[in-house]
Amino acid sequence: MKFLEENGRVNGRGSIGSTHSAVHIENPESHLRWYFRHFLGKAHHNYCGKTTDKLIYVLSVAKSDDQCRVILWAKTGIQRISLPLSSKLTLHSICQEFSDIVIDRSPKEIKDPKLQESLCYIEEQEGAINFKFGVLYKKIGQRTDNEILSNNEMTPGFRKFLGLLGEEICLKGFNGYRGGLDVKTDTTGTHSYTTILEGKSIMFHVALLLPFSQDNPQQVERKRHIGNDIVNIVFQEDDDIFDPHWIKSQMSHTYALVTYQNDDSYNLRVFNEETVPPYGPEINNAYTDPEHFRRVLLVKLINAQKAVYQTPQFVERHKRTLDQLLQEIHQRFVKNTDTNEAPNLRPFTELTDIIKEQTPRIGRKKKNRKEAIFQECGQDLKFKKIVEGLAPHSRTCTSPHTQRKYAQCTTWQHDRIISDFPNKIVCADFWDTYVLLGTDHGMSLIDSETQSISEIYDFLAKQIIVVEDKSIAIVRAEKVKHRTGYMYIFDLAALTMKSQSAKNLKRKIKQERIEKSKGCTLIDHFVMDNKLFLAVAKHKCIQLYEWIKIPGQGQGWFTCKDDFNVSEAQCMQILARPSGLKICVGTADEFLIIDAESGDSDEQCVEVLQKHKANTSLCITPIVKSEFNRWASGVLLTYNNISVLEHFTLHPNNVFTALIKWHGKPLHIRYSLPYFIGIGQQGIEIRLASNGNVVHSFDLHDVTYLSYHNQLIYFSVFNVNSNVCDVSRLPVAINLGSSSTLASVVSNDSEESPPSRIPSARNSLNRDSTLRRSFNDSRARAYTAIVDTAVGGNLPAGMVAVSSDDSLVHTCLSLLDLRQTYLGTAD
């Protein structure tokens, strides 16, 4: 094995994103294990079939209010995607979303409730909920694993470090996660250390606490545990060299070298086997705050083990396991069952029957009864895993010592600023205390100071861009009757004048229109060297405008600089490069980069896009260092749910890296170091830019991206049932302090303050973040009481709920229904 060192100065890896200010557990199970969260115990359908390569696959489909979640279980891995709910969804259209599956023939639907347990088990094989890490004590000058494993003296510094990691427990009778240690007869020692971080139980295999043998210099009993740990900690109290090759192991891929200094600080260096993909958080060379160091170290170890699972050695092993489990499903539920005789197996017809819920009158009661039994079996299984602490978002803990002061995990919350607006909000932008809204009924202006809402125009705005430096608002809009797109330029002062009536504004609409922009479908702007440029996409044409100040009038207007002939653009983004402006355009079958000075188009950026002509959604995201240095070092090109990163510095080779598979189809992706934030119709996904791993996700309905200001993303959520719309803002700058609490704080270092909270259009409750946290905490306490009541007080000793995670609360509030199943009563 060859190892790469990461020490805070040298990472041995190249990445576009830095995670120095973000300490996240990557790919959290609460956001990845869809089957447990969205399928198990709920109405859904499972289909089993074969591909053209004769490989077994299972397709799970679940319908919610406005989306259809799909999980593909195949030998190549588990893939998830969320699709807009439509009556046109068929097996063929769904399988087109997965590039690595070509169905041989129609699969069979499996109605056997026992299938849920098999699929839940397969999902658990993706990664561990609980973790075990080895801990070695190394003296200065030791160079072999025999010497390191033969240490048998516990120094005060090492004991202090172990106390920082977790709590010392007696193994005999321990009822928590044991990590392979004997908790009955003390054959693996009498004591060990354990802890819980964000609901994940961690057992430490401390070499000094494992059985020691005077007659065995290799210390086989200790090596049996340490050598099988994927991630190990090596602790030393003096600065000394360390080589991972000294530890003879085929399983250990990551070593965290911790050096304790005399000033109670810690140095951290991490050695990764060369095939381990990048993972965060990035580390510093020295840590003076013990609690901050503890969280960084534990999160680093957890992410390391998740990353090791993506190495070729483990990927091939996982493929073999997955293929074997799918073969067993096919053998048990399909092959050994006669379709004509089995009530739990039926041929697949059309997914439209699922979407429309079309059921023949004959046999409807029998079908409903079978579906109820299917869901009850799933609820029983989910309840069992929650109580046992095996749920992917479980926050139960079985140690009475977990009341210690833990560092809090980083939380993401979106803050609602407009509630129950009576129309669907299509676009919006913000300045000072004003919000300019484009709705499906016209344009409105909201003043947060006077709490007034004014309808100013009746045309349909599709895009709104406010440029405060020029005191203008750029609007791409369509007339209600003609549906012809135009670009309008409005003076912000004129919009906000108290004396000007809406009628006068409507009269001036022609004066604000740019006639050459007739038929425009997209607009984008960019400010460079105090110059404002505007790109306007029309049918097979892109126009570049520049804002020119009119002499003697103190005003300005857009002047067309150039026209570029391209295919009809579906997305467009202006980029700044040292050589000048570039316009990146996404068409039906390719991405183009246009030199705004010459009009020449560079090489085609993504050839693979030609395979996704049907049902393609495109998105372009520039990669810039900061709001002040806006030169683009690369661009993220997204089609459907796949993103490919193209580095401009790699021209002319065009090497594509950082393949990201989103769970939904993002219609807009924002890059804010160190995150990619994807906003789609079904929700929001937050991923690390350094490796594309999931950090957090929001399940929302009918989401529309509005704007981005001061590291705040503004978006709207439309409620179809009540026909009202809410506007929220999501902070994307998370700074972790070095205090022991480490509470996540939104950065307030920007020069501008965020817009003031705007009252509800219908005087509804507007929860601020404090009230929202209080509300979630009360629901978490309710969950604790529900669990205690539901199981009749039979929880293991010390088991408590310690989180207010929304997904956990949602799942556990449904235990009220499960309680009736277990106790036969309902309150």
- The b/e string for 742-764 (b: 16+ C-beta within 10 A; e otherwise) is bebebeeeeeeebbeebbbbeee
Residue 22, pLDDT score = 75
pLDDT tens digits, one per residue of 234-254:
999 988 999 999 999 989 999
Q: The pTM is what? A: 0.81
Residue 820, pLDDT score = 34
Residue type (1 letter), 674: P
Q: How far apart are CA 488 and CA 494, in angstroms?
A: 14
Residue 139, pLDDT score = 93
Residue 624, pLDDT score = 78
Residue 616, pLDDT score = 66
Residue 566, pLDDT score = 84
pLDDT tens digits, one per residue of 773-796:
332 333 333 333 333 333 333 333
Secondary structure of 597-622 as H, E, C letters: CCCCECCCCCHHHHHHCCCCCEEEEE
Residue 188 near residue 211, CB atoms below 8 Å: yes
Residue 413, pLDDT score = 83
pLDDT tens digits, one per residue of 355-401:
445 545 555 666 678 888 999 999 999 998 888 777 776 544 434 34
Q: How far apart are CA 694 and CA 664, in angstroms?
A: 12
Q: How far apart are CA 34 and CA 393, in angstroms?
A: 11
HSE on the CB side for 99, CA within 13 Å? 12
Residue 599 near residue 573, CB atoms below 8 Å: no
Q: How far apart are CA 379 and CA 373, in angstroms?
A: 10
Residues above pLDDT 90, as percent of the chain: 35
Q: How far apart are CA 619 and CA 641, in angstroms?
A: 10
Residues above pLDDT 70, as percent of the chain: 73
pLDDT tens digits, one per residue of 423-440:
899 999 999 889 999 998
**Helix or strand holding residue 556 (H, E):** strand 555-564
Q: How far apart are CA 39 and CA 42, in angstroms?
A: 5
Residue 183, pLDDT score = 93
Q: How far apart are CA 69 and CA 87, in angstroms?
A: 14
Q: How far apart are CA 39 and CA 46, in angstroms?
A: 10
Return the closest-CA partner of residue 625 out of 576, 584, 579, 682: 576
For the chain, how are helix, strand and coil distributed in percent, rounded to 5? 25, 35, 40
Q: How far apart are CA 193 and CA 205, in angstroms?
A: 8
Residues of the chain with pLDDT under 70: 9-21, 87, 100, 104, 336-367, 393-411, 479-483, 498-511, 552-554, 599-616, 625-630, 648-658, 733-827
Residue 786: phi and psi, rounded to 5, are -65, -45
Compute the chain's Rg from CA coordinates: 29
